[in-house]
Structure 1
Amino acid sequence: MPGTRKHKKSGQKNRHGHTVGSSSDRRCGADALKDGGRPEEGNEAPRDKEEQDIEAGDNLPYVIKTSDVMGRYLVASCDLRPGQLIMSVHPLVVGPPQGCQPLCLGCYKKLDLDDNAYRCEGCGWPMCSQGCSGRGREYGHSGAECQLYERVRPKLLAADSNALTPLYLVVVPLRCLLLQQHDPDKWHSLLTMEAHNDIRQKLPVIWRNNQENVVDRIRKEWGMTQYEEDLIHTICGILEVNAFEVGQEGVSIRALYPCAFYMAHDCVPNTGHTDDKNFQLRVRATTKINKGSSIYLSYAYTLQGTLKRRDHLKESKFFDCTCARCSDATELGTYAGALKCPQCAMGIVVSTAPLNRDADWCCTNDSCTGYTVPARSVRLLMDKIGDEVEALDESSIPTLEAFLTRYQNVLHPNHYHCLGVQHSLCQLYGKAPGFLINDMTEAQLRHKRDLCRQLLKVVDVLEPGYSRLRGVLLYELHAPLMILTTRGVEAHALAYRDLRSRLKEVAACLEESSIILNFEPETSNEGMMGRAAKDALMRVREWQRIITNS
Structure 2
Amino acid sequence: MQEFSEKVQSAYEEKLGRHLVASINIEAGETLLEEAPLLVAPHWECGQLKCAQCLQESYIICKRCQVYPLCMDCDEHDDFECKFFSTGAGCAINKDLLVKNYGVCALLKLLLLLENPETRANCQTLIEKPIKLEDYRHNDGGMWQEHEEQLVKPIMSSGLPEAIKFQEVTSDLIHAYCIRIDSHAFEVTARDGDTLKGVYICGASLPHHCVPNTVLALDEQFNMKLYAAVPLKAGDIIYNSYTNPLMGTTQRQHQLRLSRHQECSCSRCLDPTELGTHMSSMKCRQCPGGYAICDLSGSGDWVCEGCGAVLPAAEVHELLAEVGAALVEVQGELPVFEALLAQYKPLLHPNHFLLLDIKQNIASILRAAILMNSLAEPCKKLLERRVQLCGDLLPVTRAVVPGISKLYAIALFEFLLASVDLSEMQFAESDVTKQEYVAQLTRLRAIGKEALDLLRLEPENSAEGYLVERIGMELERIESDLMKYGRL
Q: Per the shorter chain, which TM-score range?
A: 0.7 to 0.9
Q: 1:365 to 1:291 in 2, by over 3 A?
A: closer
Q: In the aligned structure 1, how far is the partner of 2:418 from the partner of 2:160?
A: 62
Q: 1:191 aligns with which of 118, 124, 133?
A: 124
1:478·1:510 contact (CA, 8 Å) conserved in 2?
Answer: yes
After superposition, the C-alpha distances for 1:247-299 in whole angstroms (9 at most, x for unaligned) are 32323222222431332211112223232332212223333333432222211
Match of 1:92 in 2: 38
Q: Structure 1 residues 192, 58: closer, same or farther in 2, change over 3 A? A: closer
Distance 1:302-1:549 versus aligned 2 partners, 3 A rule? closer
| Residue 108 of structure 1 pairs with residue 50 of structure 2 | no
Q: In the alignment, is residue 374 of structure 1 matched against residue 309 of structure 2?
A: no
Report if the CA contact (8 A) 1:437-1:479 is conserved: no
Question: Shift in Å at residue 220 of structure 1?
Answer: 4.9
Counterpart for residue 133 of structure 2: 200
Q: Does 1:302 align with 2:245?
A: yes
Amino acid at match of 1:136: H
In the TM superposition, what is the alpha-carbon distance from 1:506 to its structure 2 partner?
0.6
Measured after TM superposition, the shift of residue 211 of structure 1 is: 5.5
Corresponding residue to 2:91 among 113, 128, 150: 150
Equivalent position of 1:76 in the other structure: 22
**What's the counterpart of residue 476 of structure 1?**
414
2:344 paired with 1:407: yes
Q: Give the SS at the match of 1:261.
A: coil
Letter of the 2:38 partner, please give it. L
1:244 to 161, 176, 186: 186
5+ unaligned residues in a row in structure 1: which ranges?
A: 1-54
Q: Residue 301 of structure 2 corresponds to which residue in structure 1? A: 361
TM-score, structure 2 length as denominator?
0.84
Supply the AA of the counterpart residue of 1:412: H
Residue matched to 2:116: 182
Counterpart residue identity of residue 312, structure 2 = V
1:293-352 CA-partner distances (Å, limit 9, x unpaired): 222221111111111111121233111100011111111111112222334433323321
1:452 is matched with: 390
Distance in 2 (alpha carbons) for counterparts of 1:103 and 1:142: 16
Query: Following the alignment from structure 2 to structure 1, what is the Cα–Cα distance between the partners of residues 340 and 195?
Result: 30
356, 359, 364: which one pairs with 1:419? Answer: 356
Contact 1:269–1:298 (CA under 8 A) maintained in structure 2: yes
Q: Secondary structure at the match of 1:192?
A: helix
Asked whether the 8 Å contact 1:337–1:415 carries over to 2, the reply is yes
User: Which residue identity does 1:513 align to in structure 2?
Assistant: A
SS at match of 1:273: strand
**How far apart, in 1, do the equivalents of 2:150 and 2:429 lie?**
67
- What's 1:530 paired with? 468
Distance in 2 between residues matched to 1:58 and 1:211, nearest whole Å: 37
3-state SS, counterpart of residue 284 of structure 1: strand
User: In the TM superposition, what is the alpha-carbon distance from 1:195 to its structure 2 partner?
Assistant: 6.5
Change (3 A) 1:447 1:282: same
Structure 2's unaligned 5+ residue stretches are none
Residues 180-212 of structure 1: CA distance to partner in whole angstroms, max 9, x if unpaired?
34254x433322237765433233255565566
Whichever residue aligns with residue 485 of structure 1, its letter is S
- Structure number with the bigger relative contact order (C-alpha 8 A, sep ≥ 6) is 1
The worse-fitting range, judged by mean Cα deviation, of 321-330 and 250-259 is 250-259
Alignment: residue pair count: 475
1:285 to 228, 244, 247: 228
User: C-alpha displacement at 1:454, in angstroms?
Assistant: 1.6
Contact 1:123 1:152 in 2 (8 A): no
Q: 1:76–1:291: 8 Å Cα contact kept in structure 2?
A: yes
C-alpha contact 1:195 1:234 (8 A) present in aligned 2: no
> Residue 296 of structure 2 aligns to a residue in which SS?
coil
* SS of match in other structure, 2:93: helix
What one-letter code is carried by the residue in structure 1 that aligns with 2:346?
N
Corresponding residue number in structure 2 for 1:275: 218
How far off its partner does 1:434 sit?
7.3
In the TM superposition, what is the alpha-carbon distance from 1:145 to its structure 2 partner?
Answer: 5.8
- Aligned to 1:514, the other structure's residue is in SS state helix
Amino acid at match of 1:328: D
CA separation of 1:348/1:183 partners in 2, compared to 1, >3 Å: closer, same or farther?
Answer: farther
| Residue equivalent to 1:431 | 368
**Secondary structure in 2 matching 1:386:** helix
Identity %: 25
**Does the CA contact (< 8 Å) of 1:197 and 1:237 recur in 2?**
no
